[in-house]
A and B are shown apart, each in its own frame.
Chain A
Amino acid sequence: EDQVTQSPEALRLQEGESSSLNCSYTVSGLRGLFWYRQDPGKGPEFLFTLYSAGEEKEKERLKATLTKKESFLHITAPKPEDSATYLCAVQANRGSTLGRLYFGRGTQLTVWP
């Protein structure tokens, strides 16, 4: 069964304190791995897509990396406005045209001044 596990469940950082969030997955053929940011009471906001091991994407203070079994979201010198829940999702390569995504439970990040 396809699974996505995110850790830690919650993370508190002081402003400027860099860290990483982990997303490990088991899927029968990875088509794509997606990172989203979700603010309280809002829908997820797309951040990155990674398609193959070794790939990296960057956006401001965020950098996503991918291996064959996991992905990391690195946050460099975070600011309070980076506080949110970060969701990871995988898409399996099963030949389906619907492109179903399997989501993890997310990591709730709090950055305090």
Chain B
Amino acid sequence: GAVVSQHPSWVICKSGTSVKIECRSLDFQATTMFWYRQFPKQSLMLMATSNEGSKATYEQGVEKDKFLINHASLTLSTLTVTSAHPEDSSFYICSARVGGVESPLHFGNGTRLTVT
């Protein structure tokens, strides 16, 4: 069964508004969660690493003021896309590990964001 739950599965918003995406670890605590973005026929691109109780670590080229990440508890990380624009339309996926650093990542089912 799924170990990572993501919500919503899809969202449509107007340009200039903000959207929040939630990622929950089920039945385990995740001190670290990873947020990915995927364009059609492209590989998953790591956007940021979410750390419980501390600031997220963003990949080069990802605007931290636009993609706000909050990891307030050991089971919940949120990604907020602020002042969304059509170019932010994409598939956002979160992930977490059940075990140590060599364990596989388990992914949520993703959120399809469409900005009109």
Q: Which residues of A contact B (CB under 8 A)?
A: 4, 31-32, 34, 36, 41-46, 49, 51, 87, 89, 91, 96-101, 103-106
B30-49 to A contact mask, C-beta < 8 Å, 1/0: 00100000000111111001
* Interchain CA distance A37-B111 in the complex, whole Å: 17
| Chain A, Cβ-Cβ closest to B45 | A103
Q: Is B82 an interface residue (CB 8 A)?
A: no
Q: Which of A43, A51, A91, A106 contacts B43 (CB 8 A)?
A: A106
Cβ contact within 8 Å between B102 and A91: yes
Q: Is the interface of B mostly helix, strand, loop or mixed?
A: strand
Chain A residues contacting B6 (CB-CB under 8 Å) are 43
* Interchain CA distance A33-B44 in the complex, whole Å: 15
Other A-B contacts than A46-B107, A98-B49, 4 sampled, CB-CB below 8 A, are A97-B101, A101-B105, A104-B43, A105-B41
Q: List 15 A-B contacts (CB under 8 A).
A: A32-B102, A41-B112, A43-B107, A45-B107, A46-B105, A49-B102, A87-B43, A87-B44, A97-B101, A98-B32, A99-B102, A99-B105, A100-B46, A100-B49, A105-B42
